[in-house]
Structure 1
């Protein structure tokens, strides 16, 4: 049975309404909308195979059968958790819009994903990374200045790569050294950054005109053709500069986000403040970084204490 087969035609109108809901009301990215719709289509196809063709007949047994089928296909715990969430959001929307008398998804459980410690750079690794970027800034003109500002801001703020690429020039407040960020769900937050990032940003803005074209608009960071910088270009930059740091793990922009959070907590920042800075909806998401710091402490203890 093809896993992501399109559901029968009668559901097409409902799925289009649901797609508009995800875009306009939940403000999900195009990638997230495709993932949510793909999971729902998979569930509806499985329901049809069980003889459930009417949305009003969806029940908990059908949803559990679909999730169990996903598990037999070897899907990871993380994937199963994500797909269960997608279906819960869908059935809740069906119930809220009067298409389902009750919400069966509210009782749908999912396996808890294994929480692994996110990789993070050491303080020396970060210093060497930014030093390498500063050297490139001396020889690579406007692109080098932009790259240094990108790396400094990613580490200084811990913002997501998508949030960084979406920044406009006016989102910077140089006087207070803060940046206005629009996170998931277009939730706005203000994130501070330090003096090194401010210097790099000022240098980049002085050179920005060398890359700007008539269609550049207000984008803070520009690509080589003058448009808003692409996330892929930022990822390639982080990988390239980290490759110049001996012994450093090969991380992307999200690794710098992990690193910023870890270093903040190691430096004494409280968990709530870090949650606010990172834009996490739940404190539980931020708490993973406390495990990182605890694991490093345990490792240092094991290596240094004579009776460890």
Structure 2
């Protein structure tokens, strides 16, 4: 006889996800794989066979131990761990509405926290790298023209790889205004505009392959040699082939995938000044905060913002030291210092009218902001802060002949 867990899990996967929520086959497969791993963990780590696994045995402690096992024993990443937790949480969130008597235990499991991780940087190509990649296919051959159209359309639509693989002839309108209709998560559709160059490539491609004729609307847009639609792995393989042939060390060393082209398009749109809400709609994001990763990651946008902010504050003009006679006089005074750090140069009488600023015991006659950093820190006389320029302890302020300043005490560091 089936356990309560088996019965409810079957209803969740077949009726709830596939029926009510209209989840894609890939989403359902991801949820299914999560529970396959959970059942295997109970069998191997808790010695509970699948036919004995009941809801009573599944609690918050067990889920936490399962997640730790994924990370330590199966070497899954933190993002994969979080994805598995999301699938488990979705099941127990649904279970609350099906059986309110289990709400307390369900909420304990829903309270299991996701493991935090550093926000990864957005991996993307520069515009020049993207242009070089898209130029790699040999357009003198039928296969090369197919691949050139594929790469241009994948970049221009910023589609998720499964959205792109699912494209049919019906989903493309190459006539102005050209657009592609993408079906994303939750079976939601969105219209993405296409550039003129991409539309021209698609028009030629449809004509060459006879896909512009009536009766071909439901044909896959891009197919393999067996006339079946390209898989996600096949699309990634095509990208990798042209990445290797590009001859660009930076491009060859990049972690390139279909999703990186999606990131690249989004980043290029943002750096071109396209508002984030428009980028969100093109990418098919539900929440604008998801799209904001491109605003945080765009170094070029940050640089432009900083330049616009500080243009009038930070200047590239430097002081003309050779025209500053007061500074030159002071530098000449400070040059007359013997190895014992004693200054034997008499200060001029005019120094008595300047602030009592001493560097290595010499009077600096100019404004504080022009003190060069190389000569040490500015200080007043540490022994007697009330001394005037040219005055030593126990003496009167300097007059027309100037005075001698003892420089034995170096400035504080």
Fold-level match, TM-score > 0.5? yes
- Tell me the residue number matched to 1:137: 139
- Kindly tell me: are residues 75 and 164 of structure 1, through their superposed partners in 2, closer, same or farther at Cα, counting changes over 3 Å? closer
Task: Please give the secondary structure, in 1, of the residue aligned with 2:190.
Answer: strand
Residue 294 of structure 2 corresponds to 289
Alignment match of 2:125 (pick from 108, 121, 142) = 121
Greater helix proportion? 1
Is the 8 Å Cα contact of residues 56 and 99 (structure 1) preserved in structure 2? no
SS in structure 1 opposite 2:136?
helix
In structure 1, the residue matched to 2:241 is 240
Q: Is the 8 A contact 2:160 2:262 kept in 1?
A: yes
Distance (whole Å) between structure 1 residues aligned to residue 110 and residue 7 of structure 2 = 24
2:282 and 2:183 map into 1 onto residues whose CA distance is 12
**Unaligned residue ranges in structure 2 (runs of 5+):** 307-313, 317-413
- Choose the corresponding residue for 2:285, options 273, 280, 283: 280
Contact 2:169/2:216 (8 A) holds in 1: no
Distance of aligned partners of 1:30 and 1:46 in 2 relative to their CA distance in 1, 3 Å threshold? same
Corresponding residue SS for 1:120: coil
Question: For residues 216 and 269 of structure 2, what CA distance do their matches in structure 1 show?
Answer: 38
Q: Which runs of 5+ in 1 are unaligned?
A: 1-7
Size of the aligned set, in residue pairs, is: 291
Q: Which residue of 1 aligns with 2:166?
A: 166
Distance in 2 of aligned mates of 1:243 and 1:274: 30
TM-score by length of 2: 0.62
Structure 2 CA distance, aligned partners of 1:28 and 1:160?
Answer: 16
1:111 to partner: Cα distance: 0.9
Do 1:117 and 1:291's aligned partners in 2 also have CA atoms closer than 8 Å? Answer: no
- Aligned to 1:17, the other structure's residue is in SS state helix
Secondary structure (helix, strand or coil) at the match of 1:218 reads: coil
Identify if the C-alpha distance between structure 1 residues 228 and 50 changes in structure 2 by more than 3 Å, giving closer, same or farther.
Answer: closer
Q: Are 1:22 and 2:17 counterparts?
A: yes
* Higher gyration radius (CA): 2
- Conserved in 2, the CA contact under 8 Å of 1:238 and 1:252? yes
**Alignment match, 2:379:** none
Q: Partner of 1:227 in structure 2?
A: 228
Q: Distance in 2 between matches of 1:99 and 1:56?
A: 15
Q: How far 1:35 sits from its partner (Å)?
A: 3.1
SS at match of 1:180: strand
Give the TM-score taking structure 1 as reference length.
0.81
From the superposition, tell whether residues 44 and 149 of structure 1 become closer, same or farther in structure 2 (CA, over 3 Å). Answer: same
Output the aligned Cα RMSD.
3.3
Q: Deviations over 1:30-80 (max 9, x none)?
A: 443333233234445666839895325644344334434545545432122
Task: Report matched runs for 1:66-77 at 5 Å.
Answer: 66-73=66-73, 75-77=76-78
Superposed counterparts of 1:1-308, under 5 Å: 9-10=2-3, 11-20=5-14, 21-43=16-38, 49=46, 53-55=53-55, 58-73=58-73, 75-98=76-99, 101-102=102-103, 103-104=106-107, 105-133=109-137, 136-138=138-140, 140-141=141-142, 143-173=143-173, 174-209=175-210, 217-245=218-246, 246-247=248-249, 248=251, 249-294=254-299, 297=302
Whether the 8 Å contact between 1:271 and 1:287 is mirrored in structure 2 is yes
Higher RCO structure, 1 or 2 (CA under 8 Å, sep 6+): 1
**1-structure distance, mates of 2:189, 2:198:** 21
**SS at 1:236 equivalent:** helix
Question: Which one is further off, 171-180 or 288-297?
Answer: 288-297
User: Cα distance 1:268–1:216, how it changes in 2: closer, same or farther (>3 A)?
Assistant: closer
